[in-house]
Amino acid sequence: MSDRVFIVTGGCGFIGSNLVAQLLKQFEGSHVVVIDDLRTGSYANLVEACDRTNVGAFTGQLLPESVCDIDWHTLIDTHKPTAVFHLGAITDTTNANEADMLRVNAESFPPMILACAHRAPLVYASSAATYGTPPQTGQRVAFSLEAAGKPNNVYGFSKWLMECHHRRLATQLARDGRSPHIVGLRYFNVFGPGEARKGKMASMAYQLTQQCLAGKRPRLFVDGSQSRDQVYVGDVVDCTIAAAGLQQPAGRAITPGVYNLGSGVATPFSAVADAVREGLTLKSGDREVEYFEMPVNIRAFYQDFTLADMSMTAKGLGWKPSIAPLQAVREYAAWLVPPGGYSNCRN
């Protein structure tokens, strides 16, 4: 049994609920305090994640509040957490309310950093959206860390500003001779169980599987060669926990900083669709991919290619991806088949 306490913001969301369940599994008996204003999350994600992970019922706390309204010093004093994981954010990348996005995602962050400094490791979710369309896109090579900073939307900009707060305050705090344990992780395209409530923001693997399960042909932009670094949620959770320094063998230190968190593989959407069809055991000719032209209005900002350079993640965190994305897509698609199968909607 463990007397550890973890604080997880966004713990009712897709990745956050998977993280909560995994913490409860790895640190049996620990107490998890979730802070989530339920903007896009739901209590049901927590219940389902705990069920999937076989950790029994969730018995922690759920504070239904915005991260903007938390008195972080009091919260950290009260709970003395082993680690704080900050995933709570506005995640709809099409949200055009710039003030809202910046207030919630970026400006809520400095008080949290200052309260956690030297008292608890802090791991937070940044995003591949901080890269926008770097030169690496055209060259179709991996995005190294320094290529970020010119995002294409206010969501990516809000995540970039989180990193700027992190760098600035960590430098100030280090002047007393101790670097705070703060790690930012640029998640790439995450997929896996628990994303059903994300609607149009759910992964391509999820959307394509749902189209097939509804008896339709999976739809992709011509010619399906658009490639993203698709990373399985199990790996994302594993790296997020590792970044807090909780799993390291004695003497193996984490180097605080900002890191990429992807699979290290750029997977074309056509390959995702093939893997989905394989996972659903669809025969040749049944629900083949239907290609359509990309609308002109989205062409200008479309991220045609993303790929995480994972070399620094291996060096600084001692962590490497463990699951090949297409293998995970196949298994995920099979897992998404409802009980009783879906034979009625086959062509």
Ligand X SMILES: NC(=O)c1ccc[n+]([C@@H]2O[C@H](COP(=O)([O-])OP(=O)(O)OC[C@H]3O[C@@H](n4cnc5c(N)ncnc54)[C@H](O)[C@@H]3O)[C@@H](O)[C@H]2O)c1
Binding site for ligand X (CB under 6 A): 9-10, 12-16, 35-41, 66-68, 87-91, 104, 125, 127, 187, 189-190, 198
Cα 300 from Cα 229, distance rounded (Å): 20
Residue 155 a catalytic site member = yes
Residue number with CB closer to ligand X (70 or 273): 70
Smallest distance from ligand X to CB 92, Å: 8
Smallest distance from ligand X to CB 225, Å: 21
Q: Which stretch of DSSP H or E encloses residue 169?
A: helix 154-174
Q: Which of 155, 187, 232, 332 is catalytic?
A: 155
Cα 157 from Cα 146, distance rounded (Å): 15
Residue number with CB closer to ligand X (39 or 217): 39
Q: Which of 124, 198, 206, 232 is catalytic?
A: 198
- Residue 265 in tokens: 């593989």
Residue number with CB closer to ligand X (24 or 190): 190
Task: Count CA atoms within 13 Å of residue 237 on its CB side.
Answer: 25
Residue 25 a catalytic site member = no
DSSP states along 274-332: HHHHHHTTPPTTSS--EEEPPPHHHHTT---B--B--HHHHHHH-----S-HHHHHHHH
Residue number with CB closer to ligand X (122 or 282): 122
Q: Judge whether 45 and 192 are in contact, CB under 8 Å.
A: no
Residue number with CB closer to ligand X (13 or 180): 13
N-terminal to C-terminal alpha carbon distance within the chain: 52
Smallest distance from ligand X to CB 206, Å: 10
Count of Cβ atoms closer than 10 Å to residue 251 Cβ: 5
Residue number with CB closer to ligand X (55 or 101): 101
Q: Judge whether 236 and 22 are in contact, CB under 8 Å.
A: no
Instruction: Name the nearest CA neighbour of 187 among 249, 122, 235.
Output: 235
Smallest distance from ligand X to CB 136, Å: 18
Q: Judge whether 229 and 272 are in contact, CB under 8 Å.
A: no
Smallest distance from ligand X to CB 40, Å: 4
Smallest distance from ligand X to CB 7, Å: 12
Give me the active site residues, please: 155, 198
